[in-house]
Amino acid sequence: MTRWMKETQKGTPVVVTMENPTFSVVEINGADAAFRPVEKTRGKNAKQVTWFLFLKAYHAIGCVTWFATVLWSLMGAIRKRLIDREGVTLESEKMEKGKVLFTVIKVFLVSSLVVLVFEVVVYLQGWHFGNPSVHIPRAADLEGLMHLVYVAWLRFRGEYIAPPMQALSKFCIVLFLIQSVDRMVLCFGCFWIKYKRIKPKIDGDALKVDDIEGSACSHPMVLVQIPMCNEREVYEQSISAVCQIDWPRDRLLIQVLDDSDDESIQWLIKTEVRKWSQKGINIIYRYRLVRTGYKAGNLKSAMSCDYVKDYEFVAIFDADFQPHPDFLKQTVPYFKDNPELGLVQARWAFVNKDENLLTRLQNINLCFHFEVEQQVNGAFLNFFGFNGTAGVWRIKALEESGGWLERTTVEDMDIAVRAHLNGWKFIFVNDVKVLCEVPESYEAYRKQQHRWHSGPMQLFRLCLPAILRSKISPWKKGNLILLFFLLRKLILPFYSFTLFCIILPLTMFVPEAELPLWVICYIPVFMSFLNILPAPKYFPFLVPYLLFENTMSVTKFNAMISGLFQLGSSYEWIVTKKAGRSSESDLVAAAEREVKSIMEQQKIHRGASDSVLVESNQCKEHKETNGTPVKKANKIYKKELTLALLLLTASVRSLLSAQGVHFYYLLFQGVTFLLVGLDLIGQQMS
């Protein structure tokens, strides 16, 4: 090749002359001169380099400013929580539960801080964590003594700390995988329901008869119960929605079961009931003198009335639920020609799901609960846990199953399990939705979750013998014990707290027990993606949802332990705080109803006695003076804050060993714990 090139260069030269050339001639020395790489600095002058450096500096200053602003805001929030808490510290300390768990977390935190300081010093000495150089130092040498302590720590860590941590982490990983498989099976079942369009069906028009004069007789007698306790914000809209249910008035009775201990609220509810009664609605106000058993005791007392025997079905709505007028017409027909059916459960829809970040994250969880869990279990097993509201029961099923019992704080799950053991079937109607609220403050949500996770463990201890003695099939017993109780109520909070909040940060100090990347990243993200599928518009909240669920595992784990071992906090029943919000369509409809009812109200007042008018005026005074209750102050949650420091300490330790994914996870999870511990998520209170 080289010889050929040399021969081609020895040809006869040709001279070409051109007049008035329009280009310049550049002399090229050598065959490859034109193809030499151009230097990177060629074509740049000092001014361009200066502007380039200015641009880089501007971006750097912007990033630093953004970080400083976020840090300043966070420090301001911390100062507000720690300093401006007059009168709150005593209450929060009084309400602090799980002191044993809090002590254990503090021990882990202190140990981690001590080890971190020690290993930072060791790292600066050049003894890297991967393969430290071990030699026998001289006793008189101070550096040698420190090295000796470090080597002893490595040996102790490898022989005594790492093995039990590895065993516990493997056990939690197995539980994690089992629960992940359960979630995938549920999602596949939901997909199959959508693909095959499986849904409960009503044969014909169950409420239609040929005889026009006797058309009302085709509607069964229905009792509607509204249990409430100090529900100042929502009592009016709830009673109003129930009283507008489209059902023959002579075949419908509404019971307002008031357990309020505030006389002003009792007065308001009485007046609201009287207003609808004077409009011709068959409604009764009922108040218990002996308020025992919380909601279960309230419902049990109402079912003991003599007139209940005339009714065939009972619909239950909590105080913040607003059913549509056609609710009974969409649910009661399922009972016709289906004598084994004991419960028809409707789905919840939330009027405040986009109020703040907390409500959005709750909506993701509850959409998966209804769309996947309850729909799949209802379609393939005819069983699921009663939600305590927005459902219609056959009264015969309640009576044969033992009625409402006051032995746990989850009376709805209790009656559902006992009815299932007696052979009754359930139907979940995903198309029928009832408007309600989700808690807007973290304090209210935390108390609700504590009750929802301690009660099932109480119930499991009490009903396990009954499940084993029941006559249902073995696979139904296995579903109740292994899936319904153990896997979804006990194992889930146990492994999520132990694996992601305790073991993972501790593995940064015990590298021998390090968790694989697929455990802390791939599978959790995939499971979170499955959880968010029923609410696809909330996909941007995938990462906050994953971090927040791990944060809530502390409350759920503590509640599970309380219920399992019958601790005092497992018997607490605190009514979930409501905001009294309504959807826009409800507000418009309420305004139209108000205009239409002006004449009716005038007629009522004309026919009312003087005592009724006095009571009405007193009711207005109560609304003016007590209509806007004072908000409570935000609290500080010590366990969450302590875990935040533990996770952030572990993230610093991960930097020393150059573990990138672990660092980011621990950092973001620690910040999430910090925000939740300072009550900076959800509704901000005064």
Q: Which residues are catalytic?
A: 259, 412
Question: Quick count: other Cβ atoms within 10 Å of Cβ 544?
Answer: 18
3-state secondary structure 146-175: HHHHHHHHHHHHHHHHHHHHHHHHHHHHHH
Contact 244, 214 (CB under 8 A): no
**Nearest-angstrom CA–CA distance, 678 and 81:** 7
Residue 660, SS3 per DSSP: helix
Q: By 3-state DSSP, what share of the chain in percent is helix, strand and coil, each rounded to 5?
A: 60, 10, 30
- DSSP annotation of 13 reads P
Structural contact between residues 298 and 318, judged by C-beta atoms closer than 8 angstroms: no
Alpha helices in 401-470 (DSSP H): 411-421, 442-469
| DSSP label at residue 441 | B
Q: Which residues contact 80 (CB under 8 A, 6 or more apart)?
A: none
| Residue 576 near residue 439 (C-beta atoms within 8 A) | yes
Q: Could you give the CA distance from residue 653 to residue 673 in angstroms, rounded to a whole number?
A: 18
Decide: 382 and 426 in contact? Cβ < 8 Å. yes
Burial class (CB in 10 A: 0-12, 13-18, 19+), 266: middle
Q: How far is it between the farthest Cα atoms of the chain?
A: 130
* DSSP string for residues in 208-274: --S-STTGGGGSPPEEEEEEESS-TTTHHHHHHHHHT--S-GGGEEEEEEE----HHHHHHHHHHHH
State the pairing for strand pair 391-394/313-316: antiparallel
3-state secondary structure of 25: coil
Give me the count of residues in the chain.
686
Q: Please give the Cα distance from 623 to 617 (Å, whole number).
A: 10
